[in-house]
Amino acid sequence: MKPRFLAIVNPAAGGGRCGRLADAALNRVREAGVELEIARTGSAGEATSLSRAAYERGIRNFLAVGGDGTAYEILNGIFPQSLTDGRVALGLLPLGTGNSFLKDFSSRGVEHTIDALKHQSRRACDVIRLSHTDGDIYFLNLVSLGFPADVGALTNRRFKRLGELGYILGVFTQLARLEHLAFPHRLDEAGEWDFRPCLFLSFSNSKFTGGKMMIAPNADPTDGKIEYVRWGPIGRAGLIATLPRLFTGTHIKHPLASRAAARRVELDLGGPVNALVDGEILRLNCRSLEILPAALDVYA
């Protein structure tokens, strides 16, 4: 007998694309023999409260219908209780903007997920816990500090209504005010603290972000490691010339780039900073990141 799922739909994902396509996609899931209960969100954060309430009444299988932000909200409704009170499985129907995490397993998107649900194909995947001064959050994809997070915050404030064009405007506006900041950190408690200024730091569980950018080409969501990528100070002209390499993953071969794999990262930021977390921009005083190996089953 196949398990019952709660499908949480974010109609606003993908600029409303999810709202237009969700019913047809969910009908195909039902035709694959999957029993569904459906809930639709109407505001930011509602997927978290919906998944938390469903978990408390015994639901253990969830379907995120939207983008990376929808999956992120669901994850934070079912963790940390699922670490001790009953394992959870998550399917991803990628109808949002980014849909980055699923790309580690397939480029087929919705087709891949429907096949995985039909055949009950599950993979144990890692989750990263980020501890900050006000609590913990959980994510599947990545957290970035520095330039990508500042671009995201600026775009949300001034250009979000313009969609992809707004993001491009955000990049070039932030480029005009380019600065390199230090985000003091150390890996696995054994190394020395790194106080060097940088363009950005990323701590990844999967390869992709923003749908197409391959920030961490060596990341593997099943290896029990956080993939760390640092890009040192670079001038405006150098950054413009190198930006295309973010889409191929070859940026980590740049002389100013470095990478490592870690199980834990400590941070001492001295106050809140912009943090890009699975497509969401948060203002956080980050304290540490820790990998939770094989903490979640993903239909993939």
pLDDT digits (tens, 9 = 90+) for 271-290: 999 999 998 899 999 999 99
Residue 43 has pLDDT above 70, yes or no: yes
More confident residue, 148 or 61: 61
| Average pLDDT over every residue of 94-111 | 81
Over the stretch 236-275, which tens digit does the pLDDT of each residue have? 999 999 888 988 999 999 999 999 999 999 999 999 999 9
pLDDT at 163: 65
In total, how many domains does the chain have? 2
Q: Is residue 111 part of a domain?
A: yes
Q: Is residue 77 part of a domain?
A: yes
Q: How confident is the model at residue 1 (pLDDT cuts 50, 70, 90)?
A: low
Angle between helices 46-56 and 68-78 (to 10 degrees): 40
Residue 167 has pLDDT above 80, yes or no: no
Q: Choose one of 120, 155, 184: the last residue of a domain.
A: 120
Instruction: Look over the chain and give the mean of its residue pLDDT values, rounded to a whole number.
Output: 91
Residue 223 has pLDDT above 90, yes or no: yes
**Lowest-pLDDT range, 124-128, 144-148, 241-245, 251-255?**
241-245
Do residue 84 and residue 149 come from a single domain?
no
Do residue 105 and residue 150 come from a single domain?
no
Find the domain containing 24 and state its range.
4-120
Which string of b and e fits 173-203 if b means at least 16 CB within 10 Å? ebeeeeebbebebbbeeeeeeeeeebbbbbb
- pTM of the model as a whole: 0.92
Question: CB-based burial of residue 298 (10 Å sphere; 0-12 exposed, 13-18 middle, 19+ buried)?
Answer: buried
Q: Is residue 300 part of a domain?
A: no
pLDDT at 249: 93
Do residue 255 and residue 193 come from a single domain?
yes
What CATH number does the domain containing 193 carry?
A: 2.60.200.40
Do residue 147 and residue 96 come from a single domain?
no
Q: How confident is the model at residue 212 (pLDDT cuts 50, 70, 90)?
A: confident
Do residue 93 and residue 147 come from a single domain?
no
